[in-house]
C-alpha cells in the first residue's frame, strides 16, 4: 500500500516537500477491524489547518503521520461480522490506497449513487452546509443570502437550499466560468467574480448592485476581502454562520491583523456573539421590574450612585464620566 505522510509543517502555502510518500505491506485486520481498498479520497480546505501545530477543535497531524482525510472504498478483508468483502464504505482512511479501520468507524454506502458523492454533496461538506444554514443562517423567504466559494460543495449546497427557501441568492466565485456555473448549474440569482476586483471597496460596489436590499445571511466560507466587502451591506438582524476562513489559511500565525484571530476563534470555539440594543427588549421591562425590583428593595442587589449637585456641573461631570471619573451611577441632583 502507499500512503502520504506529513513530512514537515508548511510555511505559508503547502509545497511538495511538505509531504512524503511511503510504501508498505498491507496490514491484516485485527478483531473488529476492516481492511478497505480506497477508490476515492477527499481533499478539503480544513486539511491545511491540520498541518499546523496549533490547538484547535481537532488534533494536528504529527510529523511522519498519515495525512488525515476521508475516503471511499471496498472492503477487501474483514474481521468485523457486520461487514462483507465487497461492501462499499466511507471513513477516515487518510491519504492512502488502503486503510485498516475499526468497523465502528466506517459507514456502509449503497451503490445507487456514485461513491464519490459520500465525500461531497452527501458527505461532510454537504452536511456542513445544511446543518449550519438551518441552525445559524435561518433562511427566510424574500431575504438575501451571499456566499463565497459558491461553486464548491459547501457553497453550492448553501445556495440551493437558500433558493429553495425563497431567498435571493448571490454567489461570489473565482472567475467567469465559475460564475456561469453558479447561476446556470446552482441557480444563484447573481454571481460576482471576486478575482476581477483589486480592492474590497470595488468588490463591495459589485455586491451592492447584486444585493440591492442588503444582505440578511452572509454565509462565511472565505473571509478576507469578501468579508471586508460585505460588512457595510449587512442588514439589521443579519446572520453570519462562520464556517470557513480559507482566504487566511496560509497566513502565518503572527499576522499583525487581529481580525483573522478573532474570526478563527468564533469558528473554532463556536462563539455566540450577538449585537444588543436595549430598545428591542423593552416589552420585557415589566418582567425585569417584577423580578429585580423586590431584590433591590430588600438589599439583596446592591447599587451605587455618584451624585453631583447642580445643573451647572453637568458638562464637567459628563466629561469625567467618559474618563472614569464617576463611581457608580452618575446622577445630577438639582
Ligand atoms: P471548496 O471546494 O469550495 O474550495 C475552496 C474554494 O475557496 C476555492 O475553490 C476558491 O473558490 C475559494 N477561495 C480560496 N481562496 C479564496 C479567497 N482568498 N477569497 C475567496 N474565495 C477563496 O471548499 P468547501 O466547499 O469544501 O469549503 C468551503 C469552506 O467551508 C472552507 O473555508 C472550509 O474550510 C469550510 N468548511 C468548514 C467546515 C466546518 O465544520 N466548519 C466543514 C467543511 C468546510 P473560488 O475560486 O470560487 O474563489
Indicate which CATH number applies to the domain containing 247: 3.40.50.720
Q: Which domain holds residue 92?
A: 2-114
**154 in contact with ligand 1, CB cutoff 6 A:** yes
Burial class (CB in 10 A: 0-12, 13-18, 19+), 71: buried
Edge-first strand order for the sheet with 190-193 is: 190-193, 168-173, 144-148, 215-219, 234-239
In a domain, 119, yes or no: no
How many Å apart are CA 45 and CA 244, to the nearest integer?
9
More confident residue, 258 or 56: 258
Same domain, residue pair 106 and 233: no
| Domain co-membership, 285 together with 200 | no
Q: Is the CB of 90 under 6 A from ligand 1?
A: no
Q: Which region, left, alpha or beta, applies to residue 187 given φ > 0 means left and ψ of -120 to 50 means alpha?
A: left
Is 42 found in the same domain as 60? yes
In ligand 1, the atom with minimum distance to the C-alpha of 152 is 3
Pocket-testing residue among 244, 260, 263, ligand 1, by greatest number of atoms within 8 A of Cβ: 244
* 204-243 residue pLDDT tens: 999 999 999 999 999 999 999 999 999 999 999 999 999 9
Q: Does a structural domain hold residue 199?
A: yes
Same domain? 101 vs 133 = no
Rounded-to-integer distance, Cα 145 and Cα 162, Å: 7
φ/ψ of 239, rounded to 5, equals: -115, 140
- How many angstroms is it from 221 CA to the middle of ligand 1? 6
Please work out, in degrees rounded to the nearest 5, the angle formed at the alpha carbon of residue 42 by the alpha carbons of 7 and 74: 105
184: confidence class by pLDDT, cuts 50, 70, 90: very high
CATH code for the domain of 50: 3.90.180.10
Residue 256: DSSP 8-state:
S
Q: Three cell numbers at 254?
A: 503572527
Q: Is 147 in the pocket of ligand 1 (CB under 6 A)?
A: no
Q: Tell whether 227 and 285 lie within a shared domain.
A: no
* 258 vs 70, residue with greater confidence: 70
**In a domain? residue 45:** yes
Q: Distance between CA atoms of 314 and 199, rounded to whole angstroms?
A: 46
Q: Please check whether residues 193 and 320 belong to one and the same domain.
A: no
Return all residues near 290 (Cβ < 8 A) that are at least 6 apart.
none
Closest to 103 measured CA to CA, from 39, 35, 38, 26: 35
What is the C-alpha separation between 317 and 325, in angstroms, rounded? 8
pTM here is 0.93
CA 35 to CA 44: how far, in whole Å?
A: 23
Distance CA 45, CA 16 (A): 17
Asked if residue 75 and residue 49 are part of one domain, the reply reads yes
For residue 125 and ligand 1, the question of a CB distance below 6 A is answered with: yes
**Do residues 50 and 146 both lie within one domain?**
no
Instruction: Check if 120 has its Cβ closer than 6 Å to any atom of ligand 1.
Output: no
CB 175 within 8 A of CB 147: no
Q: Are residues 132 and 260 in the same domain?
A: yes
Residue % of the chain over a pLDDT of 90: 95
- Assign 151 a pLDDT band (cuts: 50, 70, 90): very high
Q: Tens of pLDDT along 174-183?
A: 999 999 999 9
153 lines ligand 1 (CB under 6 A): yes
Q: Residue 311 domain-assigned?
A: yes
Tell me what pLDDT residue 53 has. 92
Backbone phi and psi for residue 248, each to the nearest 5 degrees, phi listed first = -110, 0
Instruction: Assess whether 180 and 308 both reside in one domain.
Output: no
73 within a domain of the structure (yes/no):
yes
Q: For residue 90, what pLDDT band results from cuts at 50, 70 and 90?
A: very high
| Confidence band for 253, pLDDT divided at 50, 70 and 90 | low
Q: Which of 131, 192, 139 is nearest to 168 (CA)?
A: 139
Q: Which of 243, 268, 293 is the last residue of a domain?
A: 268
Q: Is the dihedral of CA 131, 133, 136, 141 positive or negative?
A: negative
241 touches ligand 1 (CB under 6 Å): no
**Cα(176)–Cα(48) distance, integer angstroms:** 26
Nearest CA-CA partner of 2 in 48, 38, 47, 50: 38
In a domain, 273, yes or no: no
The reply to whether ligand 1 has any atom less than 6 angstroms from the CB of 221 is: yes
Same domain for 83 and 65:
yes
253 CA → ligand 1 middle, Å: 19
* Cβ 222 under 6 angstroms from ligand 1: yes
Distance in Å, CA 184 to ligand 1 centroid: 20
Query: What size, in residues, is the chain?
Result: 334
CA distance to 63, 64, 92, 105, per residue, from 4 (Å): 11, 9, 14, 21
- pLDDT in the model for residue 256: 81
* Assigned domain for 48 exists: yes
Asked if residue 264 is part of any domain, the answer here is yes
Same domain, 131 and 24: no
DSSP 8-class letter at 135: I
How many domains does the chain fold into? Answer: 3
Handedness of CA 221, 224, 228, 229 (dihedral sign): negative
On the question of pLDDT at 255 being above 90, the answer is no
Single residue among 114, 142, 160 that ends a domain in this structure: 114
Whose CA is closest to 213, among 167, 271, 259? 167
Amino acid at each position: 500500500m502507499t500512503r502520504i505522510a506529513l513530512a514537515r509543517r508548511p510555511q505559508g502555502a503547502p509545497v511538495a516537500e511538505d509531504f512524503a510518500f511511503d510504501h508498505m505491506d498491507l496490514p491484516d485486520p485485527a478483531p473488529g477491524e476492516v481492511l478497505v481498498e480506497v477508490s476515492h479520497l477527499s481533499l478539503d480546505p480544513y486539511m491545511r489547518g491540520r498541518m499546523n501545530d496549533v490547538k484547535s477543535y481537532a488534533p494536528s497531524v504529527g510529523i511522519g503521520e498519515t495525512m488525515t482525510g476521508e475516503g471511499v472504498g471496498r472492503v477487501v478483508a474483514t474481521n468485523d461480522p457486520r461487514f462483507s468483502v465487497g461492501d462499499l464504505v466511507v471513513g477516515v482512511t487518510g491519504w492512502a490506497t488502503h486503510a485498516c479501520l475499526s468497523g465502528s468507524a466506517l459507514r456502509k454506502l449503497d451503490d445507487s449513487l456514485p461513491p464519490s458523492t459520500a465525500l461531497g454533496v452527501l458527505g461532510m461538506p454537504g452536511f456542513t452546509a445544511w446543518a449550519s444554514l438551518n441552525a445559524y443562517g435561518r433562511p427566510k423567504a424574500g431575504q438575501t443570502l451571499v456566499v463565497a466559494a459558491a461553486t464548491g460543495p459547501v457553497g453550492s449546497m448553501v445556495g440551493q437550499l437558500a433558493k429553495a427557501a425563497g431567498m435571493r441568492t448571490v454567489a461570489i466565485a473565482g472567475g467567469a466560468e465559475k460564475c456561469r456555473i453558479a447561476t446556470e448549474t446552482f441557480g444563484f440569482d447573481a454571481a460576482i467574480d471576486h478575482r476581477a476586483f483589486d480592492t474590497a471597496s470595488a468588490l463591495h460596489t459589485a455586491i451592492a448592485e447584486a444585493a440591492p436590499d442588503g444582505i440578511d445571511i452572509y454565509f462565511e466560507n472565505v473571509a478576507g476581502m469578501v468579508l471586508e466587502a460585505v460588512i457595510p451591506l449587512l442588514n439589521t438582524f443579519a446572520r453570519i454562520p462562520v464556517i470557513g476562513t480559507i482566504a487566511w489559511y496560509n497566513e502565518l500565525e503572527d499576522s499583525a491583523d487581529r481580525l483573522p484571530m478573532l474570526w478563527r476563534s468564533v469558528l473554532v470555539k463556536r462563539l455566540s456573539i450577538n449585537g444588543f440594543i436595549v430598545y428591542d427588549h423593552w416589552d420585557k421591562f415589566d418582567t425585569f421590574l417584577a423580578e429585580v425590583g423586590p431584590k433591590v428593595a430588600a438589599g439583596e442587589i446592591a447599587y451605587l450612585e455618584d451624585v453631583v449637585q447642580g445643573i451647572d456641573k453637568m458638562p464637567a461631570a459628563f466629561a469625567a464620566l467618559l474618563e472614569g471619573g464617576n463611581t457608580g451611577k452618575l446622577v445630577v441632583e438639582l
